[in-house]
Amino acid sequence: MPAGGFGRRLFFVQPLNSCTSTCATIYAPDEPYSSFRLTIKKIPNNSCLCKDFSKFQIWHEPCCSSRNQGAWPLAGRAPALSATTGPGRRRNMRQCTRPGFCIGGLAIVAALLFAASPGLLGAAAAENEADKAPGRRLARSATQAPGARWTTADHSKYEALQKEFTKPEEVTTACLSCHQMAADQIQHSIHWTWICPDCGDGKSMGKYGKTINNFCIAVPSNEPRCTSCHIGYGWKDKTFDFSAKNHIDCLACHDTTHTYEKFPTKAGYPVTEPTLFPEDGKTYLPPDYKKIVAKVGRPDRLNCGACHFYGGGGDGVKHGDLDSSMGMPKKSLDVHMDTEGLNFTCQRCHTTKEHQIAGRLYTSPAAPERISLTEADLASKIACESCHGQKPHKTDTKANDHTDKVACQTCHIPEFARVLPTKMSWDWSTAGRMNADGKPFKKEGPYGKSVYDTKKGDFVWEKNVEPAYYWFNGAMSNMLVTDTVDPSKRLALNHPAGSPDDPKSRIMPFKRHTGKQPFDPANATLVIPHLFGPKDSEAYWANYDWKRAIVSGMKYVDLPFSGEVGFVETEYFFPITHMVAPKDKVVACDQCHSVEGRLKGLPGVYIPGRDVHAGVTMVGWGAVIAAILAVAGHGIGRMVSSARRKGQ
């Protein structure tokens, strides 16, 4: 190797001849480099970790095997020399009289010190951790069966399903004649009650409790419109009988023909004759029940998406990472749901047992224990680690160093709303304006979406949105309509729970939706307006009178209202967990490790490249300068010494 060169044959491995706690040493064959020796210890699986420093390739060798009785045959390498003796010692000492060679020595030492950092052993941990995550294989095998999804029953042959159904409740009765346990299971689920049963008093938290949002605000008094996304029939007001089994809508989740549709304003019922819905200009058709029941099966993405893609009154309005593009996504949009790849259904991660579907984020953490699928394939919640382990990167050990503080989604979901736009702001205070003819109107903006609607106010839509980042332990804190508020500040109607001091918290991406909505300035509380109703009702969309609408809505839920109407700025958060990008599209390091990066406002953590500590900076630069001076002084001393010897 040429003097001062940094070629492929620079570093060598000398294995030991007996089995000890040390596997090998790494050193350079030329003095003075070989005076620095890096010891490689055994790792837990009785293997040694070697590293090709010129190409940064990592591999294992079995410790104390026959290959360890001599130099390991690393391609293109010369036999190793002794670390302290050998015929080349004096010759190599003289090579240090070259200044470039001495500066090169500093570079070698720095490289070895860097390699000796936790990242080196982290590579071994990554390989071992991969062995602890067979859940990845389980998840794939569960979704990659050939052909259509298998079933054990042909529903077209069931006698109970051979009749001509005239009402959807008749279908439910037929289903329950075989699935006798299903009704009780469903009626104890949050999809049925819209109340979190494990939160506080079991009545306040949930869509039909006292939580509110800054989209359509609240369900109570607006049931006929909102319950088009309920898995039941006839929930038109608070007299709905939640115990009636024939009110359950089995087809909402189990129709695999995707021809079954509920009408948007019929309290969960489909139509009985072709009916136009003026809001979207779509004509809804009566379901062909006999055809549909013959094809019932397990839910797929389109079943879940019939509600979750369209929450808030339109495609992509609410979540940002859930819209109709996720029904049949390409790999570029979501690597897990790619229809030509893994093709995951929602239940692969939202584990389901007895109709209890995991995933709600009120007060229970999403993943209190980051366990593998082999430990609990039906864990109450599944996190990324369930399949990928806590050291998911096989070669990028520095990335593995982040997993105790950074959620997988933070790097692997660079933007959301990558195909369709999502609503980022909703201002109710501007609702009620009329056009020149004195009639309600809409104004279209970018992406073909309304940016103003007399019924709802002003909107802001965006695509390819960079998330906001917060510490998150898997739960959300929620504001209730009964809470006292400070209108001088933007109100967080919900907010990620977690802190940098919580070992279960991670930095997580979120959609932050801002709004401006009515409140009661005298009582300092938020309000529930009655929005939807017939033209002769007190509903806001019937008369555009906020006071009348709020009086009606608050009376409906038995809460006080002073009669004063104000508007307050709010925010609402959705964790971003879908739209996982391919690995070559992940967030680049410098997008976070920079002063104006994605994490510029995140508290509680020191981020190199973003943060500066004067003391650390001074010590670091002092060490660099001292090292340069030491190497330079050593080089000059060697040159002077060599000149004197030559003169003699």
Q: What is the distance between the alpha carbons of residues 392 and 129, in angstroms, rounded to a whole number?
A: 7
Which residues sit opposite 284 in a β-bridge? 275
Residue labelled with tokens 């859940």? 135
State how far Cα 206 lies from the chain centre: 22
Q: What is the distance between the alpha carbons of residues 395 and 420, in angstroms, rounded to a whole number?
A: 34
Q: What is the distance between the alpha carbons of residues 394 and 379, in angstroms, rounded to a whole number?
A: 26
Do residues 8 and 55 lie in contact, with contact meaning Cβ atoms separated by under 8 Å?
yes
Q: What is the distance between the alpha carbons of residues 232 and 154, in angstroms, rounded to a whole number?
A: 25
Residue labelled with tokens 């898997």? 474
- Rounded to 5°, the CA angle 503-508-513 comes to 135
- Rounded to 5°, the CA angle 106-109-112 comes to 150
State how far Cα 80 lies from the chain centre: 49
Lowest mean pLDDT among 97-106, 116-125, 229-238: 116-125
Q: What is the pLDDT, as a whole number, of residue 364?
A: 52
Q: What is the pLDDT, as a whole number, of residue 377?
A: 45
Compute the mean pLDDT over every residue in the chain, rounded to the nearest whole number.
Answer: 80
Q: What is the pLDDT, as a whole number, of residue 572?
A: 98
* Phi, psi at 84, each rounded to 5°: -125, -20
Whether the per-residue pLDDT at 363 is higher than 60: the answer is no
Do residues 15 and 82 lie in contact, with contact meaning Cβ atoms separated by under 8 Å?
no
pLDDT average, residue stretch 149-160: 85
Q: What is the pLDDT, as a whole number, of residue 645?
A: 83
Structure tokens at 105: 């020595």
Q: What is the distance between the alpha carbons of residues 221 and 273, in angstroms, rounded to a whole number?
A: 27
Q: What is the distance between the alpha carbons of residues 370 and 389, in angstroms, rounded to a whole number?
A: 8
Instruction: Give residue-wise pLDDT tens across range 32-86.
Output: 333 334 444 444 444 444 443 333 333 333 333 333 333 333 333 333 333 333 3
Residue labelled with tokens 């709020």? 550
Whether the per-residue pLDDT at 491 is higher than 50: the answer is yes
- In sequence order, what are the residues at sequence separation of 6 or more whose Cβ sits closer than 8 angstroms to the Cβ of residue 288? 259
Q: What is the pLDDT, as a whole number, of residue 74?
A: 37
- In sequence order, what are the residues at sequence separation of 6 or more whose Cβ sits closer than 8 angstroms to the Cβ of residue 534? 542
Whether the per-residue pLDDT at 28 is higher than 90: the answer is no
Q: What is the distance between the alpha carbons of residues 474 and 496, in angstroms, rounded to a whole number?
A: 8
Q: What is the distance between the alpha carbons of residues 538 and 153, in angstroms, rounded to a whole number?
A: 50
Whether the per-residue pLDDT at 263 is higher than 90: the answer is yes
Do residues 214 and 515 lie in contact, with contact meaning Cβ atoms separated by under 8 Å?
yes
Q: How many CB atoms lie within 10 A of CB 166?
A: 10
Which residues sit opposite 484 in a β-bridge? 525
Sign of CA dihedral 272, 275, 277, 278: negative
Instruction: Give residue-wise pLDDT tens across range 374-390.
Output: 444 444 567 888 888 88
* Phi, psi at 491, each rounded to 5°: -90, 130
Find the helix or strand (DSSP H, E) in which 491 lies. strand 491-492
Alpha helices in 241-327 (DSSP H): 251-254, 289-293, 301-308
* Alpha-carbon distances of 463 from 269, 317, 446, 460, rounded to whole Å: 33, 12, 10, 11
Which residues sit opposite 473 in a β-bridge? none
* Phi, psi at 569, each rounded to 5°: -80, 140
Structure tokens at 196: 């979190």
Sign of CA dihedral 86, 88, 90, 95: negative
Whether the per-residue pLDDT at 280 is higher than 80: the answer is yes
What region does 320 belong to: left with phi over 0, alpha with psi -120 to 50, or beta? Answer: left
The amino acid that residue 528 corresponds to is I
Whether the per-residue pLDDT at 580 is higher than 50: the answer is yes
Burial of residue 648 (CB within 10 Å: 0-12, 13-18, 19+) is exposed
More confident residue, 519 or 637: 519
Do residues 363 and 199 lie in contact, with contact meaning Cβ atoms separated by under 8 Å?
yes
